[in-house]
Chains A and B, each alone.
Chain A
Amino acid sequence: MSNETVVAARHRGVSFSRVLAITVNTLTELTRLKVFYVLLVFALLLIGSSIFMAQFTFQQEFQILKDISLGAMSIFTSLLAIIATARLIPQDIEDRTVYTILAKPVPRFEYLLGKIGGVLLLLAISTVVMSAAFLAVLYIREQSVLHMTLRQMSSAPREQVDDTLRAVRSSGLNLDLFPGIIIIYLKACLLAALTLFVSTFATTNIFTIVVMAFIYFIGHLQATAREYWLQEHSSGWITHVFLAIVALLFPDLQAFNLVDDIVAGTAISLGVFLKTAILGAFYTTIYTLLAVFVFYGKEL
């Protein structure tokens, strides 16, 4: 077989193995940069808060534990998404590793997919580890309260004991937590994709982080601003187009904030969960495509 034939046989327009190679390398890079230290902070926060909460009633204790844990998970995964993604492209350009990679038969979109894939994998691992820690602490506390309740109510009527145990179980570990955790992960994915997009035209990672900090705050405020705008101004098509552009540039991050409902004990309906999940996946895809579009025109 001639050299030309070997070359032709090797090359594929889209190669999952090339994307996977970049994904694994990105994950290795982020892992060896010790970004997982953020998980240690999360664990310390959990341990600290469970010691602090021993003085509350079990409903209050479980509520605060969920509030702190899910809130911390949301902040940590968002921070991790922005900080980990912001450095990837500018650092590769500064170190010229991007030249070495793209001088190989690697299309630019595969390079970006591999990079974002690595970050999403990192976020998935972090979310799973934080969730496991949170659920384990919640389960241990729940079991402890159940045993204590049984001990304290040993002489109480059977129905009363059952009611109390049901109340403990319903306010402790339950399936309603999982949709909330998935949405936290999807919000982090969205922020990672948006950071990747910003970093394709940014020259430094500091610039990317500052821009993302603005977007993060505007994203949490824009729903309120939109409602106010629609109430105060005429809702003609120009207004709607303007608001649609604003919504695309600054995603409605408040829509991903389901923690309050979970903490209050309100179950998230399947409709709300699916709508939010699809919105997260849609934004993540759109921002990744925009990043690919900008990166294709970039002079390296």
Chain B
Amino acid sequence: MADPAIAVRGLTKIFPVPLHRQSIVAVRDLDLRIEPGEVYGLLGPNGSGKSTTLKIILGLVSPTRGCTEIFGRDSRLVKSREAVGFLPENPYFYKYLSGEETLRFFGRLCGLGGAGLRNRMDELLALVGLTNARKRRLGTYSKGMLQRIGLAQALIHDPRLVVLDEPTAGVDPAGSREIRDLILDLKRRGITVLLSSHLLAQAQEICDRVGVLADGALVREGRLQELIAIENQTELIVADASSDLIEEIESLINRSNAKLIERRKSTTTLERLFLDATTDRQEP
């Protein structure tokens, strides 16, 4: 059986508070297993331990107890990070570098160089839609562009696992949609994605499985559809139905033991409305 992309066992992180006897438990006895090719959403409110968990997985913070592995390798080992790309929450990067220079810098850190690196940079800049802005300094980039160049640097060494901390935080709906499409593209390529978010609607659209953290503990976990399904309820969405047909369906329901809970017009999402109204007006 193949190694899981991420395995977390009995993970606990306690931060001591200087000059106080108390301490803060950021993560409590956490177990996670994320299979290769999955998109896993780590959900939870602010302060629930999502970012700390990601940092421990990336070896940026050491655990108080427990262990974390990336593709079967202890994640504290530098070598394990060969397989990982990371986009932190609200990344700034070096404002004095252009988009192209940023990718070259991170590529060199991953041991890339020469024509291979140049080709990879061209490919990623095209993927994230920043080819025209490649020479501009990051100081002039918008929030959405920064997130996209952040995603490009995370992918520079063709990792098998991508860790995204609040990838759409502070990004407008159009930018948010682009990032979501990029994540779905990663999924199609078989790349494992671990993302943390407190924006539940977005996670619902892209995650295969989710885990919900509260006060550092995993309180729910499973396949998204299984978690959110209401077992004793069924939705029928019918197009072009006449009022006679609707009344017939309702009377059928009334004659049975079932109960009609709600009858309403289907609606679009506010996000769809926003995108339809603004996409044509945006500058190219």
If A96-B88, A103-B81, A104-B106 are given as contacts, then 13 extra A-B residue pairs at C-beta distance below 8 Å, sorted by A number, are: A3-B158, A11-B78, A21-B109, A22-B109, A95-B93, A96-B92, A99-B58, A99-B86, A100-B86, A102-B58, A103-B85, A104-B110, A105-B79
A99 contacts B60, C-beta separation under 8 Å? yes
Give the docked Cα–Cα distance between A100 and B87 (Å).
7
Residue of A nearest to B163 (CB): A103
User: Is B45's beta carbon under 8 Å from chain A?
Assistant: no
Which B60-78 residues have a C-beta within 8 angstroms of A?
Answer: 60-62, 78
A106 contacts B109, C-beta separation under 8 Å? yes
A300 contacts B60, C-beta separation under 8 Å? yes
User: Is A32's beta carbon under 8 Å from chain B?
Assistant: yes
Cβ proximity bits B133-159 to A, threshold 8 Å, 1 near / 0 not: 000000000000000001001000110
Pairs of residues from A and B, 9 with the lowest C-beta to C-beta distance, nearest first = A103-B86, A21-B108, A95-B92, A32-B96, A7-B82, A10-B111, A99-B88, A105-B81, A300-B60
9 A-B pairs within 8 Å (CB atoms) are namely A7-B82, A10-B82, A97-B92, A99-B60, A100-B88, A105-B111, A300-B55, A300-B60, A300-B61
Residue of A nearest to B62 (CB): A299
B94 contacts A10, C-beta separation under 8 Å? no
B55 contacts A10, C-beta separation under 8 Å? no
User: Is B105's beta carbon under 8 Å from chain A?
Assistant: yes
Residue of B nearest to A20 (CB): B108
Residue of A nearest to B108 (CB): A21
Q: Inside 8 A of B153's CB, which chain A residues have their CB? A: 100
Which A76-126 residues have a C-beta within 8 angstroms of B?
Answer: 95-97, 99-107
Q: Inside 8 A of A106's CB, which chain B residues have their CB? A: 78, 81, 109
A85–chain B nearest beta-carbon distance, Å: 17
> Of the candidates B62, B91, B157, which one forms a contact with A104 in the assembled complex, judged by CB atoms under 8 Å apart?
B157
B186–chain A nearest beta-carbon distance, Å: 15
Give the docked Cα–Cα distance between A105 and B76 (Å).
11
Whether A17 touches B96, Cβ cut-off 8 Å, given contacts A99-B86, A100-B153, is no
B86 contacts A11, C-beta separation under 8 Å? no
Q: Inside 8 A of A220's CB, which chain B residues have their CB? A: none
Residue of B nearest to A18 (CB): B109
User: Is B89's beta carbon under 8 Å from chain A?
Assistant: yes
A103–chain B nearest beta-carbon distance, Å: 4
Give the docked Cα–Cα distance between A29 and B157 (Å).
24
Give the docked Cα–Cα distance between A106 and B106 (Å).
10
B83 contacts A7, C-beta separation under 8 Å? yes
Which A12-28 residues have a C-beta within 8 angstroms of B?
Answer: 12, 15, 17-18, 20-22, 25, 28
User: Is B160's beta carbon under 8 Å from chain A?
Assistant: yes
A100 contacts B60, C-beta separation under 8 Å? no
Give the docked Cα–Cα distance between A190 and B92 (Å).
31
User: Is B90's beta carbon under 8 Å from chain A?
Assistant: yes
B93 contacts A11, C-beta separation under 8 Å? no
> Of the candidates A25, A28, A96, A104, which one forms a contact with B81 in the assembled complex, judged by CB atoms under 8 Å apart?
A104
Q: Inside 8 A of A103's CB, which chain B residues have their CB? A: 58-60, 81, 84-86, 88, 163
Give the docked Cα–Cα distance between A20 and B82 (Å).
19
Give the docked Cα–Cα distance between A103 and B93 (Å).
13
User: Is B222's beta carbon under 8 Å from chain A?
Assistant: no
Give the docked Cα–Cα distance between A104 and B159 (Å).
10
Whether A97 touches B78, Cβ cut-off 8 Å, given contacts A3-B160, A106-B109, is no
A25 contacts B84, C-beta separation under 8 Å? no
Q: Inside 8 A of A104's CB, which chain B residues have their CB? A: 81, 86, 106, 109-110, 157
User: Is B97's beta carbon under 8 Å from chain A?
Assistant: yes
User: Is B113's beta carbon under 8 Å from chain A?
Assistant: yes
B105 contacts A105, C-beta separation under 8 Å? no
A17 contacts B60, C-beta separation under 8 Å? no
A17 contacts B90, C-beta separation under 8 Å? no
Q: Inside 8 A of B83's CB, which chain A residues have their CB? A: 7
Give the docked Cα–Cα distance between A96 and B87 (Å).
10
Give the docked Cα–Cα distance between A98 and B245 (Å).
63
Q: Inside 8 A of A7's CB, which chain B residues have their CB? A: 82-83
A11 contacts B82, C-beta separation under 8 Å? yes
Q: Inside 8 A of A21's CB, which chain B residues have their CB? A: 105, 108-109
> Of the candidates A11, A20, A96, A300, which one forms a contact with B91 in the assembled complex, judged by CB atoms under 8 Å apart?
A96
Most chain B CB within a 10 A radius of its CB, from A18, A32, A104? A104
A139–chain B nearest beta-carbon distance, Å: 36
Residue of A nearest to B153 (CB): A100
Q: Inside 8 A of A299's CB, which chain B residues have their CB? A: 15, 60-62
Give the docked Cα–Cα distance between A249 and B77 (Å).
32
Q: Inside 8 A of B55's CB, which chain A residues have their CB? A: 99, 300
Give the docked Cα–Cα distance between A105 and B81 (Å).
5
Give the docked Cα–Cα distance between A21 and B55 (Å).
24
B78 contacts A105, C-beta separation under 8 Å? yes
Q: Inside 8 A of B86's CB, which chain A residues have their CB? A: 99-100, 103-104
A211–chain B nearest beta-carbon distance, Å: 18
Q: Inside 8 A of A17's CB, which chain B residues have their CB? A: 108, 111, 113
